[in-house]
Chain A
Amino acid sequence: MPPPILALWLANVLVDTTGQLAFKAAAGAPEAGDGLARWRHMASRPWLWLGVGCYVVEFLLWIAFLSLVPLSKGVLLGSINIVAIMLAGRWLFGEKLTRLRVAGILLVSLGVAIVGAGG
């Protein structure tokens, strides 16, 4: 894989994972309460905005990445994000990885990869 494509791919995995973890950190905070108060609490702390910022950066990274590889290959390579976010969720939030959960997550990743590989 040429270095620019590899760099954009890794950056996309990193930024997507960071953004999703930030959203989970914002949404999962138990002290945030409910309803409108919860949204106010989330908006007043950095996690939600880190997530939104990652979305914006990812949008540009993805467009740049797709300008160098075909869409099908992009989707195929992008399926690794699902596994990366599974591992990060275990590492940072202590999410239990039961056999059934791992099987489900790997099947979804495989499915996305197959859809991508087929073009």
Chain B
Amino acid sequence: MRRFYVAGFLLLMAFDTLAQVSFKFAGTHALPVSASLAWLLRVFGQPWVYGAVIGYLGAFFTWMSLLKHAPIGPAFAASHLEVVSVMLLSVWLFHEPLSLSRVLGAVAIVAGIVCLGLAESDSAPGVPATGRIAGPR
């Protein structure tokens, strides 16, 4: 069960991150923004928008697989690991500044997820760890 959760939440984070980074790239590659067919063609005419679609679909199937066993309250909180990964990648990919409050927020999120992880290993539910991670094949 522990491996199911660790692998599942890391996969969820990867798909969520792929989606957000792809959205940003898709948007900037399609500038200038306008309510026009030309803008839509620019958005769908380059690969990034499909990264966003794959990210969304992957995250959906991963989330539904995780929820087979994971309690919704702690799982929804843990899904916010994405905030941290997107923040760190944005520094590298988009040269966005890393302010003190952002770092503090990220530290609190990671600390919270560590607590949630410890809470799960404490309660150790007796369910076999055979769940599928990525949905149907």
Whole-angstrom distance between the Cβ of B111 and the nearest chain A Cβ: 5
Q: Is the CB of B136 within 8 A of A98?
A: no
A contact patch SS: helix
Taking a contact as CB atoms closer than 8 A, the residue among A26, A34, A101 that contacts B73 in the complex is A101
Q: Is the CB of B119 within 8 A of A101?
A: yes
Q: Is the CB of B112 within 8 A of A96?
A: no
Nearest to B67 among chain A residues (CB) is: A27
Instruction: Given A35-B136, A101-B116, A111-B112, verify A82-B80 contact (CB < 8 Å).
Output: yes
Q: Determine the chain A residues whose CB is within 8 A of the CB of B106 once the complex forms.
A: 111, 115
Q: Is the CB of A115 within 8 A of B87?
A: yes
Whole-angstrom distance between the Cβ of A54 and the nearest chain B Cβ: 13
Whole-angstrom distance between the Cβ of B114 and the nearest chain A Cβ: 8
Q: Is the CB of A23 within 8 A of B64?
A: yes
Q: Is the CB of B123 within 8 A of A20?
A: no
Having A104-B74, A105-B77, one finds 17 other A-B pairs with CB under 8 Å, namely A20-B76, A21-B72, A26-B67, A27-B67, A28-B68, A35-B136, A82-B76, A95-B71, A101-B116, A104-B114, A105-B116, A108-B77, A110-B112, A111-B110, A114-B101, A115-B102, A115-B109
| A contacts, CB < 8 Å to B | 20-21, 23-24, 26-28, 34-36, 38-39, 42, 48, 81-82, 85-90, 93, 95-98, 100-101, 103-119
| B contacts, CB < 8 Å to A | 63-69, 71-74, 76-78, 80, 83, 87, 99-102, 104-116, 118-119, 122-123, 132, 135-137
The 7 A-B residue pairs with the shortest CB-CB distance in the complex, in nearest-first order = A118-B101, A107-B112, A111-B108, A104-B115, A115-B105, A111-B109, A27-B67
